Structure 1
Amino acid sequence: MSVLEPAAASAAALDALQGALSDPAVRDLAWLLAGAPLLRAHPPVGELATVFESEREAVAIAAWLLELDRDPSPLKQALAVTRIARLGRYAECLLAFFLQHGPAARLVAANVALRLAGRTIGECDFLVESASGRRLHWELAVKCYLHAGGTRAELADYVGPNLQDRFDRKLAHLLGHQLPLSAREEFAALGHMGPWRPQMFVKGWLFYRWGEAPPIPEAVDPSHCRGFWVPSGEWPALGAARAAARWRVLPRLDWLAPRAPIANEDVDVAGLSTSDALTERLAQQAGPIMVASFERQASVLGRWHETERGFVVPDDWPEQARSYAQASA
């Protein structure tokens, strides 16, 4: 059996574990470890990172996450050391905590900068040693891209919500610059004995225009996490179509795992509102806003569960997104 086979089984098991975890940071960590990747493998350089090598490791990690959920204070203390404002930095801190304290792969070094003539030419996110002794170089990326709309199926059509990032450019940078860093002769001089096996650790969400189902590029993993996007002028129609739902704006650091279920008595405290009430709030904000819908499940003690998430974008955003997607690389 290959390493990938137990890893796939472990990911499915940990994904099912989400329902048993209540602490937001622990849920985010479990999602980061077990959530579907955004990309397929791109050999020979773009191999996918796998955090599990055996079923025994999967069982140990599941037990470790459950114990951490019962007392998440060590994780919270680790996160509090650094003032975290960026989603990517938050994900880095979560993965570093797992590598330092979890029961599987071991952290060798993080954020290893490579310099030439006094100039930094790149930085390796994580150097890792697996339980079997494999020496791995992981490049981590957590991304949220919106498909610009239409029927094209190219990575260039997936753009960042603020139109400052594009999926094809990110992949090209990973394969052409970041992943090869640990194989350079200059890297060996830093003292981290290799050879290092480069792997990409790319997680996140892809969002599609409400009502559209474009074909998926070959490079994208078909099991990726997905949501919707809608221009603000179409938001009332979407809200009416989800009449039973309640909604919440998601701040940036809540963009990883689906949010934990909310008890009925905590709905107001959690900031859930009707789509009409949310419309008023959206009108006061500029730029794309991520929202999540929650629906009540009577079979689960009346709790409200996140059912989908997406972006509400300004009405002129779709045209700008198409132009950005079609611009030369």
Structure 2
Amino acid sequence: MQNKYIKDLAWAISSPSLVNEQPGWPNIVDTSKDTWVTQWLSSLDADPSPLQQHLAKEKSHFIGTYFESLWAFYLASNPQYELISRNLQVNSKARTVGEFDFILRDKVTGGFIHQEVAIKFYLGFNKQNIHEFSDGKHIWLGPQCRDRLDIKLAKMINHQAKLSETIQGKQALESIKIDVDTDKLTPQLVLKGYLFYPQTQPVTPPKFCNPNQLKGSWLTLNDFVEHIEKDSSDAWALLTKPEWISPFSSSIEHNQSNIFFKKPDILRTAREKVLNEQRPWMIAYLTESKGYYTEIHRQFIVPDDWPHLYDE
């Protein structure tokens, strides 16, 4: 695949879930049986205009919204489903209670499906954790310390997936002619992304995490200085958020300013970014083959006092 948007779409569909289904949880969406997808993606790669037109309608450029838009395009194109509603708001008299990310009708069974969708990137470290969705020993935290795996799962499972059980949720569904008292509505979760493991200490994910999860690593800026001297990659790329989804690749002929070929250059640029912005930056380690630089590993470089913004 040559088109960046098509690569991201393919990743959104085929990448493994961060978590495995557990007793009492909503269903975890499995797209592995969608045999039609490969040919469909090939045709889109030849003519990506339908996807580009779809994405152009989005007003937000946040990575979560981008991923959700990719997923919406997949659902709208899926012959098994009718996409009935996206971001259906659930309101009380005083406030917005929540929203249904996606409401679908399964054309095979005739039943309705409620999907909650998210893409997340979490860095793990050792710290006592008594939260319901943890192993008690570790915390998995977003790079800017605003999000946690355990808290996100609690929200998705205990609140978002159960919106149809609330009075306000039932009223919202009635507005699109779904009566949950008579119509079957199945909640499902889509949680994709990466877990980043500290390179300097052992950390294990919670047992509910998918063993086939996508993995990266993280290092403090100080440790990165020592690490990069021993690294044998052909090149390195600093990734902006739009580049966080599918694995990075670039033609050798395509001169990109975020690709670095010398260790002093990537070290200097990474140090400037991390210190000036006081936040983690993602780096892709690249190998060169057949005229392309392709990602073989990704890593967050964090300030030496990270997670300095975090206070449990």
TM-score bracket relative to the smaller structure: 0.7 to 0.9
By how many angstroms is 1:105 displaced? 2.6
Match of 1:11 in 2: none
By how many angstroms is 1:43 displaced? 3.2
Q: Which moved further from structure 2: 76-85 or 173-182?
A: 76-85
Question: Which residue of 196, 205, 208 corresponds with 2:185?
Answer: 196
By how many angstroms is 1:205 displaced? 0.5
- Partner of 1:215, secondary structure, is coil
Match of 1:172 in 2: 154
In the alignment, is the contact (CA less than 8 A) between 1:114 and 1:186 conserved in 2?
yes
In the alignment, is the contact (CA less than 8 A) between 1:156 and 1:169 conserved in 2?
no
Match of 1:256 in 2: 245
In the alignment, is the contact (CA less than 8 A) between 1:239 and 1:276 conserved in 2?
no
Match of 2:121 in 1: 144
Question: Which residue of 280, 288, 291 corresponds with 1:288?
Answer: 280
Match of 1:303 in 2: 292
Give the TM-score normalised by the residue count of structure 2.
0.87
Write the deviation string for residues 223-282 of structure 1: whole angstroms up to 9, x where unpaired. 11110111111112221222333111111121111123x23233x336310332022212
In the alignment, is the contact (CA less than 8 A) between 1:36 and 1:223 conserved in 2?
yes
- Partner of 1:92, secondary structure, is helix
Write the deviation string for residues 110-150 of structure 1: whole angstroms up to 9, x where unpaired. 10111122421110100112342342100001100000247
In the alignment, is the contact (CA less than 8 A) between 2:128 and 2:137 conserved in 1?
no
Hey, what's the Cα distance between the residues in 1 that align with 2:213 and 2:143? Answer: 18
By how many angstroms is 1:151 displaced? 9.9
Amino acid at match of 1:116: S
In the alignment, is the contact (CA less than 8 A) between 1:183 and 1:196 conserved in 2?
no
Hey, what's the Cα distance between the residues in 1 that align with 2:78 and 2:4? Answer: 18
Match of 1:36 in 2: 16
Hey, what's the Cα distance between the residues in 2 that align with 1:172 and 1:156? Answer: 16
Hey, what's the Cα distance between the residues in 2 that align with 1:28 and 1:111? Answer: 21
By how many angstroms is 1:173 displaced? 0.8
Match of 1:269 in 2: 256
Q: Structure 2 matches for 1:8-47, cutoff 5 A? A: 21-47=1-27
- CA gap 1:270/1:26 in 2 versus in 1, 3 angstroms: farther
Hey, what's the Cα distance between the residues in 1 that align with 2:79 and 2:46? Answer: 17
- Partner of 2:35, secondary structure, is helix
Is the helix fraction higher in 1 or 2? 1
- Partner of 2:256, secondary structure, is coil
Unaligned runs of 5+ in 1: 1-20
Give the TM-score normalised by the residue count of structure 1.
0.82
Hey, what's the Cα distance between the residues in 1 that align with 2:42 and 2:35? Answer: 11
Q: Which moved further from structure 2: 146-155 or 206-215?
A: 146-155
- CA gap 1:164/1:156 in 2 versus in 1, 3 angstroms: farther
Amino acid at match of 1:306: E
- Partner of 1:284, secondary structure, is helix
Hey, what's the Cα distance between the residues in 1 that align with 2:66 and 2:296? Answer: 24
Is the strand fraction higher in 1 or 2? 2
Amino acid at match of 1:40: N
